[in-house]
Structure formats: structure tokens, C-alpha cells
Amino acid sequence: MKACWTGGCLLAALWLSGAGAAVGDNPKKFNFDAFFKKLDTNMDGRLSKDEFLKMADRAKEKEQARAKLSQAYDMLDPDMKGITKDVFRRFLENGKNGDGAPKGAK
């Protein structure tokens, strides 16, 4: 449970740190669609694990961030089909695993 909470907090921190790059001149207004589009490099509408882990590049402790993000990704996408925009948004907004269940719940 602690790992899920830590992973969620890390993900939220990385999400917020990428906000400025996603909106240009106004870092206070976050553009989720632009952020998702930047991560979805192959433009298939889903985030692969590699695309998702690119967020770690912005972290000070890159390897630690990659490990935490990897755990979060595995929780969000156990079938390895890719994280949809809606699942990613719900996870960031609610701190849940995208299906409405609390983190770590199956």
C-alpha cells in the first residue's frame, strides 16, 4: 500500500512538473490533453510503458522515479494494453487506479 501511495505521489509530482512544458507561457494552467499528447509519441491514444516512463526523465532521481512509475504503470495497466487518456486522467485526478477502486485494490 505504501508503494502505491508513494508511486501516486511521485506521479502527481511529475505530472505537475510537466505542466509548464504542456502549456507554454502560463505554467499555472495545466493542459492535460497537451501533456498526454506529448507523452503519446506514437499517437495511438494509449500510453505504452516506455511512453509512460518518459516522465522520469524530468525527475532529479531518474532511476528511483522510473522504478516508482513502473510500479504505477503495472497497477494501471495489468493487461499491458496501454493506458488510455481517461484512465490516466482519473488516476491523476483521483489517486486511484483508473477504475474507481482505491489504489492497490483489485
pLDDT given at position 58: 87
pLDDT given at position 76: 92
Give the global pTM: 0.66
H-run or E-run covering 6:
helix 2-17
Whether 100 maps to a domain, the answer reads no
pLDDT given at position 50: 96
Mean pLDDT by 10 residues, the chain (106 residues): 49 50 57 93 96 92 94 92 93 64 44
Domain range enclosing 8? 2-94
Q: What are the DSSP calls for 38-70, one per residue?
A: HH-TT-SSEE-HHHHHGGGGGSSSHHHHHHHHH
* φ and ψ of 22, to 5 deg: -80, -20
Give the CATH number of the domain where residue 38 resides: 1.10.238
